[in-house]
Amino acid sequence: MGDFLDALRFIVDERALLWQLTVDHLALTGAAVGIALAIALPLGVVLGHARRGAFLAINAANIGRALPSLALISLGVALLGIGFVNVMVALVVLAVPPVLTNAYVAVAGVDRDAVDAARGMGMTPAEVLRKVELPLALPLIFAGVRTAVVYVIATATLASVAGAHSLGDVIVDQATYRLPGVLGAAICVAALALAAELLLAALQRAVVPPGLPTRERTRIP
């Protein structure tokens, strides 16, 4: 346990450095997740609403999972070169599949009876989407976002090998920071990921309409 006491001491002593790297880490994560949401949410919702492109939307998550994060970041480096933007592009590629698949499955999986009832009440397709399908699909859509955020926080740690800054800078540089530094940064990354997961879970509970189960049984990891 001595190693962990040293690690805690490192966290206290180097809090300025770790704070700066945490900000960098979150900037990278936020940018990548933001762009991925802008791409994948509308696409998944529209495809799900039309119940078209099921093959693409459902297999996106499978293919995305098969992409090794280290290899993807490396391929990004090979194709685009190192740096913040290029790493971010690789992270967007990782974040799109879970969001897309969950959004599609969520909207396409809304109870047909509810959709038919809404239509029978004279709602336009846009109203059906906004007032019926989206609220009912929200828990599962949110599950996809949570998966993507945690995934991107984890992978942003690897960004250090590709020239972008994150808490991974300390973890992969044992020569400089020694074991206590590596452990300290690893503790920070783990805490960051768990905090993000808990925060999003709380947010989900706040935005999901009452009466809907917030525990996503069908969440796709």
Q: Which amino acid is at 111?
A: D
CB of 30 to another protein, least distance (A): 16
CB of 119 to another protein, least distance (A): 30
C-beta closer to another protein: residue 22 or 155? 155
The string of DSSP letters for 131-146 reads: IIIHHHHHHHHHHHHH
* Interacting residues toward another protein by CB under 8 A: 3-4, 62, 65-72, 74-75, 77-79, 150, 153-155, 157-158, 160-162, 168, 171-176, 178-179, 182-183, 185-187, 189-190, 193-194, 197, 217, 221
Distance CA 100, CA 45 (A): 8
Which one, of 101, 94, 205, lies nearest residue 150 by Cα?
94
CB of 123 to another protein, least distance (A): 34
Number of helical H runs and strand E runs in the chain? 10, 0
C-beta closer to another protein: residue 115 or 156? 156
Tokens in use for 111? 């109870």
Which one, of 109, 129, 107, 134, lies nearest residue 118 by Cα?
129
C-beta closer to another protein: residue 23 or 71? 71
C-beta closer to another protein: residue 26 or 123? 26
CB of 203 to another protein, least distance (A): 16
